[in-house]
């Protein structure tokens, strides 16, 4: 589904299986994919891309907001096809330490993982547009958000959802860090919230109301 020029969203709505939302940023003749989800659901995702006139073979880079299997597994398949794979260095270290144990919690065997670039705090230019990588730990040690300045789009991974927040009871989770990261992202005054799971928010008013609700309803429990 096209959200705005150059931005496509594929929202996972089947609650019988855990998978994440996936986003595509079209730049020049290439595609950057954010959080491909599970390997088993890639054919379904590719079908939706083709329906929108996008070629899955044009995915040249993949950004992982964090390394949990429901976001990362499909990325390893895309890397085999030639896409460059990026993650925060802290998250890579976390994956190598905790990954095999954590993957087995989800019934998945952790393969040997290699990454092509690291997502560091700061500017992340892409296709003539201005993006920023934000260090936003809390759900996991190396979680990041990506912010598209010109379009005011926040790709929040599992930091914050519509009426919800990322879990902190998994290994590496930290409620205080999650709150700090959420407060930081609210200051961006985003017009679009593209979360890792659930509903998309597509007006500045809805995004800010959601941040206010999260602080009021969740922060005392984190």
200, 194 contact by CB (below 8 A): yes
Segment 146-174 mean pLDDT: 96
Calculate what percentage of the chain has a pLDDT beyond 70.
Answer: 100
Beta bridge partners of 164: 161
Q: What DSSP character marks residue 206?
A: H
127, 121 contact by CB (below 8 A): no
Structural domain 2-217, CATH architecture: 4-Layer Sandwich (3.60)
Worst-scoring range by mean pLDDT, 34-38, 113-117, 195-199? Answer: 113-117
* Domain ranges, ordered by start, for the chain: 2-217
Residue 107 has pLDDT above 80, yes or no: no
Q: How far apart are the first and last CA of the chain?
A: 34
Sequence-distant (≥ 6) Cβ neighbours of residue 155 within 8 angstroms? 23, 34, 65, 145, 146, 147, 148, 194
Please report the pLDDT score of residue 146 as a whole number.
98
Residue 178 has pLDDT above 80, yes or no: yes
Question: d(Cα 73, Cα 71) in Å, to the nearest integer?
Answer: 6
What CA–CA distances, in Å, run from 33 to 86, 108, 159?
10, 22, 18
Q: What DSSP character marks residue 92?
A: H
The pTM score is 0.96
């Amino acid at each position: 589904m096209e959200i705005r020029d150059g931005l496509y969203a594929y929202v996972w709505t089947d609650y019988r299986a855990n998978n994440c939302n996936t986003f595509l940023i079209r730049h020049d003749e290439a595609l950057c994919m954010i959080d491909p989800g599970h390997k088993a659901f890639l054919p379904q995702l590719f079908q939706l891309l083709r329906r929108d006139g996008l070629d899955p073979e044009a995915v040249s880079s993949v950004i992982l907001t964090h390394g949990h299997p429901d976001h990362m597994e499909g990325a390893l398949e895309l890397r085999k096809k030639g896409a460059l794979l990026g993650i925060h260095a802290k998250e890579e270290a976390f994956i190598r330490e905790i990954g095999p144990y954590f993957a087995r919690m989800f019934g998945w065997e952790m393969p040997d993982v290699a990454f092509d670039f690291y997502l560091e705090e700061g500017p992340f230019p892409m296709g003539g547009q201005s993006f920023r990588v934000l260090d936003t730990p809390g759900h996991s040690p190396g979680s990041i958000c990506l912010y598209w300045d010109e379009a005011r789009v926040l790709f929040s991974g599992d930091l914050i959802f519509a009426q919800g927040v990322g879990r902190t009871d998994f290994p590496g989770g930290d409620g205080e860090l999650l709150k700090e990261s959420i407060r930081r992202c609210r200051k961006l005054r985003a017009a679009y919230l593209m979360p890792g799971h659930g509903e998309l928010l597509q007006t500045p008013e809805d995004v800010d109301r959601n941040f206010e609700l999260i602080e009021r309803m969740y922060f005392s429990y984190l």
